[in-house]
Structure 1
Amino acid sequence: MTNKIRPARLPASKALVIACLALLSSSASFAQTSTPSYPATARVEQTDNYHGTTVADPYRWLEDDNSAQTKDWVKAQNQVTDAYLAAMPQRLPVRKLYTELYNFEKFGVPFKEGGRYFWTRNNGLQQQSVLYTAKSLKDQPSIALDPNTLSQDGTVALSGYAPSPNGKLLAYGSSKAGSDWQTWKVRDLATGRDLPDAIEWVKFSSATWTPDGKGFFYSRYDAPAEGAALTGANYFQKLFYHRLGTPQSADVLVAANPQEKEWGFNSSVTDDGKLLVINVWKGGSKNGLMVLPLVKGGFAGGEPKAISLAFDAAYEAVGVNGQQLIVKTNKDAPRGRLVAIDLQGTGKEAWKTLVAEGPDAMTGASAVGGRLLLSYLRDASTLVRRHGLDGKPQGEVQLPGVGTASGFGGRVQDRETFFSYTSLTTPSSIYRYDVASNKLSLFKRPQTAFDAEQYETRREFVTSKDGTRFPIFIAHKKGLKLDGTNPTLLYGYGGFNASMTPGYGITSAAWMKMGGVYVLASIRGGGEYGAAWHEAGTKLKKQNVFDDFIAAGEWLVAQKYTQPAKLAINGGSNGGLLVGAVVNQRPELFGAAVPAVGVMDMLRFHKFTIGWAWVPDYGSSENPEEFKALLAYSPLHTIKSGVKYPAIMVTTGDHDDRVVPAHSFKYTAALQAADTGPAPKLIRIETQAGHGAGKPTSKIIEERADMLAFFAHTFNMPLP
């Protein structure tokens, strides 16, 4: 979920795997059929009155993740889960398989700055990807920054980076243990040493250099008073300018609004170096837009000018063409359009449509090579169209196939751009696109242990409860028999305008090699079909999201891909909420579920860290009508005691400061206390881990392999 979402054991050797399997084989049937003995969880007499409705919250004490009692609870729960997972004969073989599939080169999309190219690369099992640079694509690249050197255990991640305009300096952010909090520093790329500059209390921000290279813009929060909590309205974001060589205390305030504490700021500089563009966000998919003139490529102060602060639509600056600011927006166009705004004009007369709304959802736009490159989704797969700066169409970019393409960044004067392409069975390859000739060339293609020729993928359409049609993507080994016996893993998200499009992942690849069917559902709440599609899965309409996901599961059973006893579901963050909600609503439809870092307490989510920013999607329990809708599906509050539930393993991180672990803690405690049948109800809590971003490779492998092994064990699948 966004705000708009490693020291570890290496896989055992083959000999050790065989030995462990021999030792564990006798306990396999016991582990599969027995109900774990869960730790006792204390209950407190806590109730809240919501608009005349009394709601009990007996596990409120678990919200304090720093208390000794909560830490003891975490330790006890992990002991139970560790014992259960260790007894599964599938665990080590699945981890070995996952490691083999994970071990391949992974490349980020290159970009150019200061006459140099920059891109990330991971050699396969490095804890963190390394940032490389080169003057030419044919040159041997050198390391610009290796985040693996920032900590001994790989838990410090590179959260963002921005080379200076001359390519000699690198502003970079780092975060610890998966936290959203970042520290920004500046590195001299020639010497590899950091300058004295240090920026603290940064969250949800990158760095934007002024064209003169003398400093950069960034957003941060005030340092809290000793003992004060950084939650809700107690703090708000401000946009600052930092001049190199000066202390952070001397940074200049550029934009803030104490009267609107929910406002946050991101920034960019136009290609001509004349304007700072400020994106103003406050949760949800609607935002404001402001501009501030720069003087001779530098910051000279001044008040930003509002382009729009109505927060009535999404606005994204694409580039400039003379005195016109080109903006992608869904204002009066739910599927998106491109407009040119005369910065010297006023009112609606200053706005001119460059590219009108069409039948497909516009998801991205860039100005490169004197042209506009517009990305669209058609039934959740990517199309890219070319237009002149005047908006006139110039045909399409011929992509490698039906899948997901992303990238296409650069400046209007650049001749080239880069993008990645992937599908459910195709790992991400990186392509260079020559804009003038409209030709692609391959830059990097990884070699993997996954043989895509043995698998097939298709797009099907499912009809939801209210008649809405949506796509799902299905991938599996060729020659699959539709006899209802195939173990199937269904994944979904359904929120925050995030589009679920087909892309290669180690989890899906490993599951398919294990003989399973992998399914991705592009349900409402996302951005697959534009703003209306997103809004149809928000607030009082959130139930549509759950209905869609349930319909996908029913379709898979009806088409004999699988049966309820062999249908697993997974989702993370907002997707964890999805899994928790649908299990409560239709427990008999699923055989196993893993809700990851989920939002489970829908009555109190807005009281923790950045949770207030999710109100535009969810609504708030402080609103009487929205409270009723939230209570009706909140996973914590709708567990059905006396009903047989599938096997469930909740996952979270004890340092998650986005979806705080209290959501998963309280949900698990309630689940274990209810009478939901003999299937296990476990929680796997990563220590020194956050929401997921920047997680070390070894932790990713362990966590996701454990999930697949949990499914395989529940479904009694053969060892991989």
Structure 2
Amino acid sequence: MTSQAAAPPDDTQDPYLWLEDVTGDEALDWVRARNEPTLATFRDADFERMRAEALEVLDTDARIPYVVRRGEYLYNFWRDAVNPRGLWRRTTLGSYRSDSPEWDVLIDIDELGRTDNENWVWAGAGVIEPEFTRALVALSRGGSDASIVREFDMENREFVADGFQLPEAKSQLAWADADTVLVGTDFGDDSLTDSGYPRVIKRWRRGTPLADAETVFEGARTDVRVSASVDRTPGFGRTLLGRALDFWNEEVYELRGPELIRIDAPTDASLSIHRQWLLIELRTEWFYGTQNYPAGALLAADYDEFLSGTAELSVVFEPDEHTALNHYAWTRDRLLLVTLADVASRVEIVTPPTRDDPSPASGRCPQRPASPRLRSSRGTWRREPVPGIPEATHTVVVGADDTGDEFFLDSSGFVTPSRLLRGAGEGPLEQIKSAPAFFDAGNIEVAQHFVASDDGTQIPYFVVRPAGAEGPGPTMLYGYGGFESANTPAYSGVLGRLWLARGGTYVLANIRGGGEYGPGWHTQAMREGRHKVAEDFSSVATDLVNRGIATVDQLGAQGGSNGGLLMGIMLTQYPERFGALVCSVPLLDMKRYHLLLAGASWMAEYGDPDNPEDWAFISEYSPYQNITATRHYPPVLMTTSTRDDRVHPGHARKMTAALQAAGHPVYYYENIEGGHAGAADNQQVAFKAALTYSFLWRMLAPSD
């Protein structure tokens, strides 16, 4: 490393720092001056056709209305052409099974926005359980992460005049009982972490000022956040408090009266508590008792025995070279397990040991009385495949009732529309909803390939293209490669209509940094290993050309957020591999990312640029610091959102300004709302899709 790379350059060397002023007049004038030529270039008749086609997909009533069970009702949030900001509504299972369910609308967000003269975007609701009578409704302005909170009476369908309310902030609330909530929010000075999230949890009682709420838990300013959750299941009531030391490490405690009891599992493990069971999903190898457990394993223990130090762990899932845990969910008495084998899903039902299973006597946690339920995890956790899942599809759990035996699975593929399957108890799966086909997939084929990356690691990727295609054609390669997020096959009507049905090829790269092969697939690409993400993606791009799927001029790539960082690296490090790039809501200035909005929370992923040792490897790939005028860059479409309060729009703004100053072709578009998703409603999603595909078709197939 050179001495120049070993220390971060001074901020005064950044000529575009002023573009970080999100809503400053000068910065917004700059945005408008770049939005206008981009729209003038691409907003033609073909753009309008694609926008209309995308909106038809997004707004159709034939979509599956996915639901969450709360008591006797199934709840859904729905957007369409008539209700662009959406309806929070509910129905019964009997009605839901019909072709035209009768929906009981609780909140009309469009109507509420008109009444309040606000640009509200639904941000979710925390419903008190098991009563299901009140909700803490979160509403954001323009789709930002920050939101206001209001208490809503679900029986009378009205907001509670003197109920719990919070002003706009990145808040976190949990019902302790009907008259008490645990709240983390912006309480004023020193109440937030450096990442902008709550540092303090307080107990807030109904009818009292927030300023009088009692502090029950605190973290450090250098933590990412603190959190609280309350399980009010009869017989298993618990209050859990979490302190996220960084993005991947968290200390979890149970609050019993005034006492904090640490759940002494590895801080980088994911913990889940359901009734008497503690599940521990390992991210790194762990030695416990006399056993060594591998990274990626899912372990189970009796919760009280674990706290008392007497638990014996059961291995519910253990990974191998090709298979990893994707996700899991509980019904009341059984566990649904979704695994990936070379990115192909498998769904299993896992039945824990019962009271009849032999189990020797063991110690008990002194804080709780003995009960007749099983007090040890010893015994057999039976795993059985869920029968009746359609072949050649990717299946995920989209709902599970942890108080009953009902669960919902969604099964789809690149060319197979979603089917919603309902399971209950030991009965067979029942298909209760299916999505329509939005494009003709009869002449489209799907294949999986593997390519060796620079270090020899085999990287899988999927190719979706016209069957029997002769010669190369316009191809869009998508990648993310971060935060252990797995990219899996899924049906997209918008992608199908605007790209595949018109003869385009779509490629999904399962590069390192993701979770397709468990935590090791991710951890080897963290911090100083970040270069492996780019090497994997570049290797896939090269293989596509070598296989004759695309020429370099026909090969485009797209990524957003962390994937936007990947696009920036492709632009500055591998420009000769691509004909065009789409870079959405990106991180690009890796020297200042930790100072902007939520950026400090990602230092465990990328490193600390203020640390010279970390900056030595970050500086080698940070796109903003690696722009040169001496290399040819492919054209790039840069998109972001003014209302994104997670990844600062300054990343995209400054990168665009620097690229233009260096003479490179860049088209810029910034939506003034939409948050980190880049769009606040279906109209905006359709607009963004039309802009993306108009750019790609124009750049990769100029004669079409």
Please report the TM-score for the alignment, with normalisation by the length of structure 2.
0.86
1:253 pairs, out of 210, 215, 238, with 215
Extract unaligned runs of 5+ from structure 2.
97-101, 286-293, 354-379
Q: What letter corresponds to residue 274 of structure 2 in structure 1?
A: G
Q: Which residue of 2 aligns with 1:26?
A: none
Query: How far off is 1:341 after superposition?
Result: 4.5
* Contact persistence 2:199–2:220 (CA under 8 A): no
- Per-residue CA shift, 1:410-434, capped at 9, x if unaligned? 4554121113222222333322112
Q: Which residue of 2 aligns with 1:20?
A: none
Partners in 1 of 2:179 and 2:310 — Cα distance? 37
Deviates more, 1:128-137 or 1:459-468: 128-137
Matches within 5 A, 1:287-686: 287-293=250-256, 301-308=257-264, 311=267, 313-321=268-276, 324-332=277-285, 333-344=294-305, 349-359=310-320, 360-390=323-353, 391-398=380-387, 399-407=389-397, 409-437=399-427, 439-481=428-470, 483-484=471-472, 486-509=473-496, 510-676=498-664, 680-686=665-671
Residues 236 and 217 (structure 1), Cα distance of their counterparts in 2 relative to 1, 3 Å cut: closer
Partners in 2 of 1:302 and 1:409 — Cα distance? 35
| Corresponding residue SS for 2:54 | helix
Residues 155 and 534 (structure 1), Cα distance of their counterparts in 2 relative to 1, 3 Å cut: farther
- Per-residue CA shift, 1:499-521, capped at 9, x if unaligned? 11111224421211221011111
Query: How far off is 1:403 after superposition?
Result: 3.8
- Per-residue CA shift, 1:563-611, capped at 9, x if unaligned? 1101111110000000010121111111111100100000110001210
The reply on whether 1:82 has 2:46 as its aligned counterpart is no
Query: How far off is 1:318 after superposition?
Result: 4.0
Q: What letter corresponds to residue 410 of structure 2 in structure 1?
A: S
Residues 389 and 234 (structure 1), Cα distance of their counterparts in 2 relative to 1, 3 Å cut: closer
| Corresponding residue SS for 1:308 | coil
* Contact persistence 1:431–1:443 (CA under 8 A): yes
Partners in 1 of 2:192 and 2:331 — Cα distance? 41
Residues 200 and 718 (structure 1), Cα distance of their counterparts in 2 relative to 1, 3 Å cut: farther
Partners in 1 of 2:192 and 2:230 — Cα distance? 27
Partners in 2 of 1:231 and 1:345 — Cα distance? 31
Q: What letter corresponds to residue 537 of structure 2 in structure 1?
A: F
| Corresponding residue SS for 1:84 | helix
Residues 287 and 544 (structure 1), Cα distance of their counterparts in 2 relative to 1, 3 Å cut: same
Residues 529 and 218 (structure 1), Cα distance of their counterparts in 2 relative to 1, 3 Å cut: farther
Instruction: Give the number of equivalent residue pairs.
Output: 651
Partners in 2 of 1:287 and 1:597 — Cα distance? 27
- Per-residue CA shift, 1:406-457, capped at 9, x if unaligned? 33644554121113222222333322112322x2112221224323334332
2:241 pairs, out of 278, 294, 297, with 278
* Contact persistence 1:318–1:367 (CA under 8 A): no
Q: Which residue of 2 aligns with 1:17?
A: none
Q: Which residue of 1 aligns with 2:122?
A: 158
Residues 357 and 78 (structure 1), Cα distance of their counterparts in 2 relative to 1, 3 Å cut: same
Q: What letter corresponds to residue 488 of structure 1 in structure 2?
A: T
Extract unaligned runs of 5+ from structure 1.
1-47, 294-300
Query: How far off is 1:253 after superposition?
Result: 3.1
Query: How far off is 1:173 after superposition?
Result: 0.9
Residues 405 and 145 (structure 1), Cα distance of their counterparts in 2 relative to 1, 3 Å cut: farther
Query: How far off is 1:175 after superposition?
Result: 0.8
Residues 345 and 564 (structure 1), Cα distance of their counterparts in 2 relative to 1, 3 Å cut: closer
Q: What letter corresponds to residue 436 of structure 1 in structure 2?
A: E
Residues 124 and 430 (structure 1), Cα distance of their counterparts in 2 relative to 1, 3 Å cut: farther
- Per-residue CA shift, 1:143-182, capped at 9, x if unaligned? 1223232324994221111333222222221111121101
* Contact persistence 2:636–2:667 (CA under 8 A): yes
Partners in 2 of 1:458 and 1:571 — Cα distance? 21
Partners in 1 of 2:232 and 2:510 — Cα distance? 34
Q: Which residue of 1 aligns with 2:288?
A: none
Query: How far off is 1:375 after superposition?
Result: 1.8
Partners in 1 of 2:626 and 2:494 — Cα distance? 29
Q: Which residue of 2 aligns with 1:111?
A: 68
Residues 259 and 619 (structure 1), Cα distance of their counterparts in 2 relative to 1, 3 Å cut: closer
Query: How far off is 1:309 after superposition?
Result: 7.3
Deviates more, 1:50-59 or 1:614-623: 50-59
* Contact persistence 1:318–1:365 (CA under 8 A): no
Partners in 2 of 1:175 and 1:631 — Cα distance? 35
Residues 498 and 468 (structure 1), Cα distance of their counterparts in 2 relative to 1, 3 Å cut: same
* Contact persistence 2:194–2:221 (CA under 8 A): no
* Contact persistence 1:270–1:320 (CA under 8 A): no
| Corresponding residue SS for 2:431 | strand
* Contact persistence 2:198–2:225 (CA under 8 A): yes
* Contact persistence 2:329–2:337 (CA under 8 A): yes
Q: Which residue of 2 aligns with 1:15?
A: none
Aligned-pair RMSD on alpha carbons?
A: 2.8
Residues 638 and 351 (structure 1), Cα distance of their counterparts in 2 relative to 1, 3 Å cut: farther
Q: Which residue of 2 aligns with 1:94?
A: 50
Query: How far off is 1:112 after superposition?
Result: 2.0
Deviates more, 1:607-616 or 1:75-84: 75-84
* Contact persistence 2:126–2:137 (CA under 8 A): yes
Residues 431 and 245 (structure 1), Cα distance of their counterparts in 2 relative to 1, 3 Å cut: farther
- Per-residue CA shift, 1:274-327, capped at 9, x if unaligned? 11233432442332322234xxxxxxx53332103763x222214132xx5333
Partners in 2 of 1:327 and 1:602 — Cα distance? 33
* Contact persistence 2:460–2:510 (CA under 8 A): yes
1:697 pairs, out of 670, 682, 695, with 682
Residues 329 and 271 (structure 1), Cα distance of their counterparts in 2 relative to 1, 3 Å cut: farther
Partners in 1 of 2:250 and 2:407 — Cα distance? 27
Q: What letter corresponds to residue 82 of structure 1 in structure 2?
A: L
* Contact persistence 1:157–1:178 (CA under 8 A): yes
Query: How far off is 1:474 after superposition?
Result: 1.8
Query: How far off is 1:394 after superposition?
Result: 3.3
* Contact persistence 1:125–1:698 (CA under 8 A): no
Matches within 5 A, 1:117-128: 117-123=74-80, 126-128=83-85
* Contact persistence 1:404–1:423 (CA under 8 A): yes
Query: How far off is 1:204 after superposition?
Result: 5.7
The reply on whether 1:148 has 2:103 as its aligned counterpart is no
* Contact persistence 1:375–1:383 (CA under 8 A): yes
Partners in 2 of 1:256 and 1:652 — Cα distance? 34
- Per-residue CA shift, 1:518-562, capped at 9, x if unaligned? 111111111111111111111000000001111111111111111
Partners in 2 of 1:142 and 1:346 — Cα distance? 44
Partners in 2 of 1:237 and 1:184 — Cα distance? 18
Query: How far off is 1:640 after superposition?
Result: 2.6
Residues 250 and 440 (structure 1), Cα distance of their counterparts in 2 relative to 1, 3 Å cut: farther
Please report the TM-score for the alignment, with normalisation by the length of structure 1.
0.84
Partners in 1 of 2:392 and 2:515 — Cα distance? 18
Partners in 2 of 1:585 and 1:115 — Cα distance? 55
Partners in 1 of 2:529 and 2:702 — Cα distance? 38
| Corresponding residue SS for 2:94 | coil
* Contact persistence 2:185–2:197 (CA under 8 A): no
| Corresponding residue SS for 2:569 | helix
| Corresponding residue SS for 1:685 | strand
Deviates more, 1:452-461 or 1:67-76: 452-461
Partners in 2 of 1:428 and 1:230 — Cα distance? 41
Residues 292 and 135 (structure 1), Cα distance of their counterparts in 2 relative to 1, 3 Å cut: farther
